[in-house]
Amino acid sequence: MFGPAQGLHGATFVVDVAFFRESLTPDGVVVDIGRASEALKTILAPLNYRNLDDLPDFSGKNTTTEFLCGHIHAAMAAATRAGALGPGGEGVSRLRVTLHESHLARAWFEAPLA
pLDDT at 66 exceeding the cut of 60:
yes
The reported pLDDT for the residue numbered 10 is: 60
The reported pLDDT for the residue numbered 14 is: 92
A 10 A CB-CB count for 17 gives 19
Question: What contacts 83, CB < 8 A, 6 or more positions away?
Answer: 89, 90
pLDDT bin (cut points 50, 70, 90) of residue 3 is: low
Average pLDDT over residues 80-94: 94
Average pLDDT over residues 42-46: 95
The pTM of the full predicted model, rounded to 2 decimals, is 0.87
The whole-chain average pLDDT of the chain stands at 89
